[in-house]
Each structure stands twice: as C-alpha cells, then as structure tokens.
Amino acid sequence: MSIIPAPPARQAGTEPDSPWRSGGKRRRDRELKRDAVIRAAARAFDARGFHNTSLADIALALQVTKPTLYYYVENKEDLLFQCFLAGLEGIERTLAEALESHDDGRTRLRRVLRGYALAIASEYGWCMVRAADQDLGPERGAQVKARKAGIDQGIRRLIRAGIDDGSLGTLDPKLTAFAIAGALNWIAHWHRQDSSLRPETIAEEFIGFFERGLLPRPPQHRPSTP
C-alpha cells in the first residue's frame, strides 16, 4: 500500500491546486490526485470532524464528482486510515534514520522529536491524535496501534542509548517516552493550520523544553570591552 509522506503544514487560508484542473502530465498523474484526495480529507476532518464530513464535502473541495474519489480510496474510513498513515510514515522514517545513526542518543532523540512535532503540526495531526481509533475497523485500527507502539518503542530505545552513552541523565525510558508523546500529541489540540506559528518554530520550542526543562538559563558570558 502506498503511503503519502507527511508534508509541512499549509499557510493560512490556502488550498492546493486541484490536479483535475490542470492539464498536461499532472492530469495523468494518479499518485498526485490520490495525494490531493487524502490532503483534502485531512483538512476537512480537521475543520468539521470525521463524522461531520462527507465524501461530497471532500469532492466539492477538489471540484470533482463524488464517484471520482472511489478511483483513489475505498470509502471515508479508508480516507481516515490513509491520513493516519501519511502522518505516521514521516515519524517512522525519521525514527529509522535515527536508529541507524552513530550519533549519541541525545542527538538522535532530538532528531526524532523534531520530526514528530512537525508531523503533529502538519495537516495530518488532527487525524493522528484527535480521531478515534474506533472510527477504523478492527484490522485497520490494529495496524495503526501497532505502528504507534513501534514509534513508542523506538523512542524508548533512543532514551536508553542516551542514558548508556551519558548524553542523557538517569531517566525512566517508559515514563519519559510517555511524557514526550503526550506533550507532542497535544499540539494537535491547540495548533491551527491558519496560525502564524510555524511548525518548525513549535518543534524547536518543544525540543528546547525537553532538553532544558524549566530551569533558568545561565547568563551568557559577554567579553569585557577594553
């Protein structure tokens, strides 16, 4: 099954150009159209909620007919599932790269935290966090839970690696992973796609909080002038 990578969040009030309204090669590109369907669904779910969004709403946003959507997805549940995958895949890719890296645990964990925050602040964040697992059937719901569990275990591995190499302090890997995921997931509850706060800024602020905690920063040393 093809998985759409998680993109950066869109600017305020913007909608993607519908590939059905363009000619040439784009018009023949099925993957581009499928990507547009999933993105449109993610934004509609964010704006209206899953149960209050119909396939007709998504078709209208793309300026296509409702039957057109069935060339790319099975039904509304499949759309929600694809939105889950689109967000999770970005985190999984960053996590896989971090686990293969030879950097210290803290550096690798920082990389994953940034990728995680960017995914949650993207247009797929609402589906990943605020949509209910029970909105998916048993098979798809189990797949999402398994992939989330894999991300959790990967973060714990990086925390343990940082403890072992001395780049992190003495921590409980399980509780620390829960705290990190809980804080990052909550971004989806308050961040809006039309916000002036950039996902990159959110990511860096959260990373700084995790790394420094609530301790005051020491005053910066300034060389004395002659």
Given 69, 86, 105, the domain boundary residue is 69
Task: Provide the pLDDT for residue 95.
Answer: 96
How many structural domains is the chain composed of? 2
Could you tell me if 30 and 102 lie in one domain? Answer: no
Give the H/E segment covering residue 27. Answer: none
The number of residues making up the chain comes to 226
Q: Is residue 12 part of a domain?
A: no
Give the torsion sign (CA, 18, 30, 60, 21): positive
Structure-token pair, residue 161: 């690696």
Task: Please choose, from the candidates 94, 104, 82, 116, the residue with its C-alpha nearest in 3D space to the C-alpha of residue 187.
Answer: 116
Task: Provide the pLDDT for residue 182.
Answer: 93
Check: CB of residue 62 under 8 Å from CB of residue 18.
Answer: yes
Report CA Rg, the chain.
20
Could you tell me if 90 and 53 lie in one domain? Answer: no
Task: Provide the pLDDT for residue 222.
Answer: 54
Could you tell me if 126 and 26 lie in one domain? Answer: no
**In one letter, which amino acid is 185?**
N
Write out the residue range of the structural domain in which residue 49 sits. 19-69
pLDDT tens, the chain, 226 aa long: 444 444 444 433 344 456 655 554 555 588 888 889 999 999 999 888 889 999 999 999 999 999 999 999 999 999 999 999 999 999 999 999 999 999 999 999 999 999 999 999 998 988 888 777 678 999 999 999 999 999 999 999 999 999 999 999 888 999 999 999 999 999 988 887 777 888 888 888 888 888 877 666 566 655 555 5
Given 9, 38, 69, the domain boundary residue is 69
Q: Is residue 10 part of a domain?
A: no
Structure-token pair, residue 214: 């609530």
The Cα 83–Cα 5 span in angstroms is 10
Could you tell me if 34 and 137 lie in one domain? Answer: no
Packing angle between helix 199-212 and helix 105-121, nearest 10 degrees? 140
Instruction: Check which CATH number belongs to the domain holding 142 and give it.
Output: 1.10.357.10
Looking up tokens 């920063």 gives 217
Task: Please choose, from the candidates 216, 219, 96, 75, the residue with its C-alpha nearest in 3D space to the C-alpha of residue 147.
Answer: 96
Task: Provide the pLDDT for residue 196.
Answer: 81
Task: Provide the pLDDT for residue 58.
Answer: 94
Q: Is residue 2 part of a domain?
A: no
Task: Provide the pLDDT for residue 198.
Answer: 85
Residue 103, classified by CB atoms within 10 Å of its CB into exposed (0-12), middle (13-18) or buried (19+), is middle
Name 145's Cβ contacts closer than 8 Å, sequence gap at least 6: 133
Q: Is residue 35 part of a domain?
A: yes
